[in-house]
Amino acid sequence: MKRFAFRVILHILLIVLFSIGSYLLFQKQLWFSTTICLILLITIGIHLYRMQFKQIALLRRLTDGLRYNDMMQTFHPPFNNKIMNEWAEELSDTLKDFRGRLLAEEIKHQYYENLLNKVDTAVLVADKAGHIEWMNQAAVTHLGQISQLPETLLKASVAHDTPVIRIEQNSTVLEMAISRTTFATQGREQQLISLKNIHSVLERNEMEAWQKLIRVLTHEIMNSITPIISLSETLSERGIPSQLGEKEYSVMLQAMQTIHRRSKGLLEFVENYRRLTRIPAPIRTQISIAELFTDLKKLFPEEYIHFEMPASDLYADRAQIEQVLINLLKNARETCERKIDKEIQIKFFSKDNPTLTISDNGEGILTDVLDKIFVPFFTTKTSGSGIGLSLCKQIMTLHDGSINVKSEIGKGSCFILTFPK
């Protein structure tokens, strides 16, 4: 480049000198010499213009390459001389170096993007107004392909005292722990939001706590009841003591039999609750939905119970899922008892996550009860044990799935069983 600059300066000096020479020769009326000087002056000027024009053309190719991200260009000298060769080589080397750095940044970007897409934490980048600029695969799974932050998430991202929010997605309510960081790039304020699904963790911990409580209670109750049953049987089998009359013995015998009967009933009652702690790990097989629904139709032959028979399969434990559906259908049938136009529908969807729905047009469930129906021992029935829906929830949890409910008073309820892909 130094040589090129030297040649440009030399051309300018020659132009100045020949201009002065032409003027002086013209003043002395030396026409031939003046003409020669003018020709040389024009030649040097044209040569300088061509040098500058070719240089501008090279720079334009460079800027076009940068503008249109064309980094594969190579530059050839407009003139076959050493200076232009060096300059074209420097431009090619510069573009090659820039291309290498750009490729390294692209590889790094792809690496971090793939890394973020592999984690199960939802990560979003949004501007101050909540317009989403980027989201990883976990965010797409939980929130869908959206362009604007949901209102609940937007409020939570602004309020620093909301560590956990609830989001409804595909009929499933998710509890998400939210974290927000604000940063600025090129003068624009942006926010990095991360969402961790803690719903399944909370459910599993809650179920484990209930199971521990049930184990302790049933153990203590059975340890206390068993001797009472044994003692009442022994006393009932004995003859009439000499110190007791026949009437007194009859009263005592009735009392012993009552104690024995109530103790046996309590023992059976406790045994039902122990089932919650004895559910085996599911043995998953390929289940034909049509065959499953056909078998259920035999147990529930009522005309108002409609089964959609899809030609689909479900990978799950047949016996456990059948028990879940039986419990839900029994509940649906009971809640429709007072209806004249009873209707219960059971459907299967396999578009995204395999999903079973059991809907009815019964009485519906009160809003303040919805959050409690899956809690062990909770029931609104006068003769209910409170373990049916809790058992359903535990079976779905063991299948790495979920059970949710939508209900409206006077219009009915819909239970949604969602299975993993």
CA distances 168 to 113, 153, 207, Å, are: 26, 11, 22
Task: Please state, in angstroms and rounded to a whole number, the distance separating the CA atoms of residues 90 and 84.
Answer: 10
Q: Of the candidates 332, 383, 389, 388, which has an alpha carbon nearest to the alpha carbon of residue 362?
A: 332
- What residue type is assigned to position 51 of the chain? M
Residue 66 burial (C-beta neighbours within 10 Å; 0-12, 13-18, 19+): middle
Q: Which two tokens stand for residue 294?
A: 């056909």
The amino acid at residue 324 is V
Q: Are strands 344-349 and 305-307 parallel, antiparallel or unpaired?
A: parallel
Q: Within the chain, which residue ranges are assigned CATH 1.20.58?
A: 202-277
The 10s digit of each residue's pLDDT in 175-193 is 777 777 777 777 778 888 8
* Fold of the 119-197 domain: Beta-Lactamase (3.30.450)
User: Is domain 202-277 annotated with CATH 1.20.58?
Assistant: yes
Q: Which residues contact 82 (CB under 8 A, 6 or more apart)?
A: 3
DSSP codes, 111-154: HHHHHHHHSSSEEEEEETT-BEEEE-HHHHHHH-S-SB--HHHH
**Which long-range contacts does 204-209 make (Cβ < 8 Å, 24+ apart)?**
204/397, 207/393, 207/394, 207/397
Domain with CATH 3.30.450.20 in the chain: 119-197
In terms of CATH, what superfamily is 285-418?
Histidine kinase-like ATPase, C-terminal domain (3.30.565.10)
| CA–CA distance, 336 with 362 (Å, rounded to integer) | 4
**DSSP code at position 68:** T
Taking only the tens place, the pLDDT of each residue in 102-140 is 778 888 878 877 877 777 778 888 887 788 888 888 777
pLDDT > 90 fraction of the chain, expressed in percent and rounded: 9
Both tokens of 215, joined, read: 């184990």
Average pLDDT score, the chain: 76
Tokens 């479900």 correspond to what residue? 314
- The DSSP call for residue 277 is G
DSSP secondary structure code for residue 275 in this structure: G
List the alpha helices (DSSP H) in 300-384: 318-335, 367-370
Q: How far apart are CA 132 and CA 191, in angstroms?
A: 10
> Is the model's pLDDT at 282 over the cut of 80?
yes
pLDDT in tens, 372-404: 787 766 676 666 666 778 888 888 888 888 888
Sign of CA dihedral 78, 84, 86, 91: negative
Span 330-360, pLDDT tens digits: 989 988 888 888 899 999 988 778 899 999 9
Closest-CA residue to 361 (of 395, 332, 394): 332
Q: Is the pLDDT of residue 67 over 90?
A: no
Token pair recorded at residue 393:
């929830």
pTM of the model: 0.49
Give CA–CA dist 248/349, Å, rounded: 67
pLDDT for the residue numbered 161: 54
Out of 9-18, 170-179, 205-214, give the one with best mean pLDDT: 9-18
Sheet holding 172-185, edge to edge: 132-135, 122-127, 188-197, 172-185, 164-169
Q: How high is the pLDDT of residue 348?
A: 92
Characterize the bridge pairing of strands 122-127 and 188-197: antiparallel
The rounded Cα 384 to chain-centroid distance in angstroms is 37
The reported pLDDT for the residue numbered 285 is 92
Chain centroid to Cα 207, Å, comes to 23
Give the residue range(s) of CATH 3.30.565.10 domains in the chain. 285-418
Q: What integer is the mean pLDDT of 216-223?
A: 62
